[in-house]
Structure 1
């Protein structure tokens, strides 16, 4: 069953250099990381209908919840992740589709 990873940046970026390093590492690892996911939304315009809007949203599509978890837990992504965590506050969830 299809699964979606949703990452919301809760506040503006606090460390641009860390976010740049996170982006660099993800680009560097794109041949490995990009094989199992399809980006559906990456920091597009946001219109909040209920509650406050996050500062940014990323939605990634995976074949299964297990594939999404494997992507997140992969050595390549785990190498980049500390930079994102230092650069900004995010919420990350995986949800199964229909």
Structure 2
């Protein structure tokens, strides 16, 4: 099942040479693991709550690929270029299958609550 690396960059600072080097090198770290940017640092429109900063979403074939990329020596080498300058959080999350139906999830949750 498709999985995603999601980063909430709370203090995006893109005017530092380390960030430029990070951006120049990251795609080469993703390629061996099938990683593809789906969202990359846009200005967000907040419609509920608070959201300081921006978001990055990278799609991978599966959770194992995300973990392998994040733990790879190539990515670990460039990671400090970003983390020294941008405060943020990162998570791994599974996608949903093409036939996902939230009504089935509601039925499952209702059944679990009843038992």
Give TM-score, length-normalised by structure 2. Answer: 0.73
More strand by share: 1
| Pairing of 1:17-96 with structure 2 (within 5 A) | 17-26=17-26, 30=28, 32-35=29-32, 36-96=34-94
| Structure 1 spans left out of the alignment, 5+ residues | none
Larger radius of gyration: 2
Aligned CA distance change for structure 1 residues 47 and 34 (closer, same or farther; 3 Å): same
State the distance in 1 between where 2:43 and 2:69 align.
26
Aligned residue pairs total 95
Partner of 1:5: 5
